[in-house]
A and B are shown apart, each in its own frame.
Chain A
Amino acid sequence: MKLFGKIKLLNKIIIPVMFLFFWEMVSHIIVKKLVLLPPPSKVFYSLYEMILSGEIFVHSLDSILRVLSGFIIAGSVAIPVGLIMGWNNLVEKLLDTSVNMLRPIPATAWIPASILLFGIGNKPALFLVFIGTVWPLLLNTISGVKSIDKIYIMAAQTMGVKGKALFKKVVLPAALPEIFTGIRIGMGVAWTCVIVAELLAVRSGLGYLIMESRLLVRPDKVFAGMIMIAIIGLGLDYFTRVLMNVFLHWRKGLKVE
C-alpha cells in the first residue's frame, strides 16, 4: 500500500519537476541573451530572499486584506439584496433591468472609471473587487431563494413562523448552498480583480510588486511574485471550502474536496 502511495505522489509531481528542469535548461542555454527569462533556481532564491526580508509578506497581507474587505462589502450588499429579489417578484422586476445592463461590463473595464472616481490607493481596488464579486453573489443568491422547496415555507407557516423569522430561519438557510456557490466563484474573481487593480491603481500588494519589479528589470522577482499569487489563490479557495464544510455540514454526504 505504501508503494502505491509513493507512486501516486510521483505521478503528481513528475510533470512539474520535468517542467522546472526544462525551464532551467532553456533559460541557461538557449535564450539567456535574448529575453529576460530567469531560471527557476533564481526565482526561488529571490522568493527566499523576499521571505527573509519580509517584503513578500507585506505585499501579500495587503492583497489579502483588500480581497477580504472588498468581498465582505460585496457580500453585505449582494446577499441581502439577492434574498429580497428572490423572494419578492416586484422588487426583482424593478431591479432586473439595471442588473442586466450593468452585469455584462467586465470588472476590468471598470478600472479607468474607478481610478477617475477614487484616485490611486485602496479605494479603486476595493471597488473593483466589489464590482467583480457582486454579480456572482447576487445571481446565486436570487436563484438560491427561488429554488427553495415550497414545502419548507408551508411547514414553517403552519408552525406560526412568518415575516422576519421565516426569512432568518428558513429562507436564508435553505438558500445557503447556492449562496456558497456564489461565494466560491466570487472568491476566484475577487483575487483576479485585486491583482489587476494593484497592477494599475495601487502602490502596494502583490500586483504592485510584480509590476514594479518589471520596471526595475527584476524578472526573478516578477516570477517569484506570481508564485506567491498562485499560492494565495489556492489558499483563498481552500478557505472558502473550509467555510462551506462548516456551514453546510448538514448536507447529505457532502464534503467539498
Chain B
Amino acid sequence: MNTKIFVRNVSKDFYDEKRRTSFRAVDNVNLEIGEEEFICLLGPSGCGKSTLLFMIAGLVKLSSGEILIDGKIVNGPGPDRGVLFQQLGLFPWRTAAGNIKFGLEVMKLDKREMEERVLKYLRMVGLTKFGNSYPHELSGGMQQRVAIARLLAHEPEVLLMDEPFGALDAQTRIVMGGELVKIWQETKKTIVFVTHSVEEAIYLGSKVVVMTSSPGRIKSIIKIDLKRPRDYVDGEFNTIRGKMLAMVEEEVSKAYLKDIGEESEISEK
C-alpha cells in the first residue's frame, strides 16, 4: 500500500494572548496514512484531533514538522484535499446544486460536463429532487448530504472530515455513517475522519488512531478487521469497543484531573 499522507514530527502551539503563554495543542505526531485507507482520529474533546486534521488540510500552519501528500509538502489548502466541516459551511446564497457546482466552476469544465457532474453527485446522495432548494429549506441530514456531494464533486483524492455527523440525531447519524462507507467503497478515496465517538470510529474506520488528551499525541493505532457492513451489536465489535473505551476514558479522566489541578493551583494563588 502506497503512503498517501505522511505526517512527520508535527507539533502545533497556539499563543494565548490573554495569558501571554503558548499552549501546545498537538505534540510531535507521526502518522502514515495509506491510499484508500479510512482513518478515524479518536480522542476526547480538546485533544487536538481537529487541529491535526486542519493542518493536513492546510488551513492551520504547523509550528514544527512537516506534512506530505504524495511526497509533496503541504503549503496551504488545495482542491486535492476536500474538507467536510462540522458546521458544513454550505453557502446559503446558493441552491443545493449551486453549492455542488461551486468547486467545479474554477475547474474549466464545459457546461454540459459540469451539469452532468452535479447531477451525478446529487444522485449519489439521493437528492435529485432537491437540486433547486436552498440550504435553509433542507433538513439537517439533507444539508449534510449536500455537503458530502459538494465535497466529492471536485473529486479530491483525500477527504478530511471534522466530526461531520456530530450535530445529527443518533438515527440519522447511523444512516449517514453507512452511506459514507458505501461512498468510500465506491470511490476508493483516502479518508481521515475526526470523531469522539468510539462506536462511530469502529463502525467506519479501517484503522482507528487513538489520541491522548491535550497536548495531543498518538496513544495507539488499532486496525479494525471486521467485515463490512459492520454490526454495532456484534460480539467482536463490542470487544474492540470495550478496549477502546477504556483507553479513551483514561485520557478523559487525565484531562479532568489536569483541569482540577490547574483550578486548585489558581485558587491557591
Contacts and interface: CB of A to CB of B under 8 A. Distances in A.
Interface stretch (A96-104, A157-165, A190-198, A210-218): A157-165
Contacts of B79: 158-160
B136 A158 contact: no
Interface string A6-50: 000000000000000000000000000000000000000000000
Interface in B73-87: 76-79, 81-83, 85, 87
Interface stretch (A83-91, A168-176, A222-230): A168-176
B105 A154 contact: no
B154 interface: yes
Interface stretch (B25-33, B44-52, B89-97, B199-207): B89-97
Interface in A135-155: 149, 151-152, 154-155
Interface in A65-104: none
A159 B154 contact: yes
B105 to A, nearest CB: 7
Contact of B92 (A156, A161, A169, A252): A252
B81 A161 contact: no
A151 B77 CA distance: 13
B175 interface: no
Interface string B126-159: 0000000010100000000000001000100000
B178 interface: no
Interface of A, secondary structure class, is: helix
Contacts of B150: 159
Give the interface size bracket for A toward B. 20 to 34
Give the interface size bracket for B toward A. 20 to 34
A154 B57 CA distance: 10
B170 interface: no
B106 interface: yes
A152 B87 CA distance: 10
B89 A161 contact: no
B235 to A, nearest CB: 40
A251 interface: yes
A250 interface: yes
Contacts of A170: 91
Contact of A152 (B91, B105, B106): B91
B266 interface: no
Contact of B85 (A151, A161, A165): A151
B103 interface: yes
B102 interface: yes
A37 to B, nearest CB: 52
Interface in B20-77: 57-59, 76-77
A151 B78 CA distance: 15
Given A158-B83, A160-B103, 15 more contacts: A149-B89, A151-B88, A152-B91, A154-B59, A154-B83, A155-B91, A158-B59, A159-B106, A160-B79, A160-B106, A161-B105, A161-B106, A169-B102, A250-B92, A252-B92
Interface of A: 149, 151-152, 154-161, 165, 169-170, 173-174, 176, 250-253
19 contacts: A149-B89, A151-B87, A152-B91, A154-B83, A154-B85, A155-B83, A155-B85, A157-B76, A158-B58, A158-B81, A159-B102, A159-B103, A160-B106, A165-B105, A165-B106, A169-B105, A173-B93, A176-B93, A250-B134
Interface of B: 57-59, 76-79, 81-83, 85, 87-89, 91-94, 102-103, 105-107, 134, 136, 150, 154
